[in-house]
Amino acid sequence: MNDFYSLVYKALIFVSIILFIISFGTSGTTTIGALIAGYSALLVSILMILVMLTNNIVLITKGKETTEIAKSVLFTGGPFLLMLAIIGLLLYLIIKYKNLISNGHVSDTYYTFSNISIVLFILQLYLIYTSMDSPEFKQTQKLSKITSSLIYLLGVFTTISSLIVFATLTHFTTDG
C-alpha cells in the first residue's frame, strides 16, 4: 500500500511539472487552465506527502510527550506547510483574476514573477523528490536537515515572489 501511495504523489508531482511547462508555452485561457490544474495537482501531492510524514512521525514518537511530537511534526512538515500556503495564495489569485490575466490586462511584472514562482516550485519539487528517493529517507522517514533548510530557503524566495504577484494583481491591473 505504501508503494502505491508513493506512486500516486510522485505521479501528481510529475503532472504538475508538465502542466507548469505547458503554461510557459501558452497564453490566454490555456495558461490559466494549466496553472490552476498544475497548482491543484501540486496541492494534492504536497498534502499526501504531509499526511505520510505526519503519520510516520506519530508512529516513531509514540509514547513521547505531545510537545515533542508537535515540535517534530512542525520541523519535518514546516517546508510543506509553507508550500501549501503559497500554493493556496497563488490559486486564489489566479482564480479571482483569471479574466484579467487571460485578457492580458495585467502588468508584465505579473508574468515575470509568476514564472519565477513556478521555477522555484520546480526546484523545491526536485529537492523533495530526490530526497524522498534516497536510502536515508527510506530508513528514517524524515528529510535531512540540509534538504529541509533548502526547501525553507526556496520557500522564502517563493513567498516573496508570490507577494509581488499579489501586489501586481491587486494594484497594477487595467480594465482594458
Domain membership of residue 135 (yes or no) is yes
Domain membership of residue 104 (yes or no) is yes
- Grid cell listed for 173: 491591473
- The pLDDT value recorded for residue 18 is 95
Cα atoms in the Cβ-side hemisphere of radius 13 Å centred on 138: 8
- Owner of C-alpha cell 516573496: 160
- The pLDDT value recorded for residue 79 is 92
- The pLDDT value recorded for residue 91 is 96
Provide the whole-model pTM.
Answer: 0.90
- The pLDDT value recorded for residue 61 is 77
Domain membership of residue 176 (yes or no) is no
Rounded to 10°, the helix 29-60/66-96 angle is 170
Decide if pLDDT at 175 tops 80. Answer: no
- Number of structural domains, the chain? 1
pLDDT in tens, 110-157: 999 999 999 999 999 999 999 988 888 888 778 888 998 999 999 999
- The pLDDT value recorded for residue 151 is 94
Domain membership of residue 22 (yes or no) is yes
What radius of gyration, in Å, describes the C-alpha atoms of the chain? 18
- The pLDDT value recorded for residue 96 is 94
Domain membership of residue 111 (yes or no) is yes
DSSP 111-169: HHHHHHHHHHHHHHHHHHHHHHTSHHHHHHSS--HHHHHHHHHHHHHHHHHHHHHHHHH
- The pLDDT value recorded for residue 176 is 55
CA nearest 57: which of 70, 48, 45? 70
Domain membership of residue 139 (yes or no) is yes
pLDDT in tens, 72-112: 778 888 999 999 999 999 999 999 999 999 888 898 899 99
Segments forming the whole domain that contains residue 147: 2-171
pLDDT in tens, 14-59: 999 999 999 998 888 899 999 999 999 999 999 999 998 888 887 8
- The pLDDT value recorded for residue 16 is 96
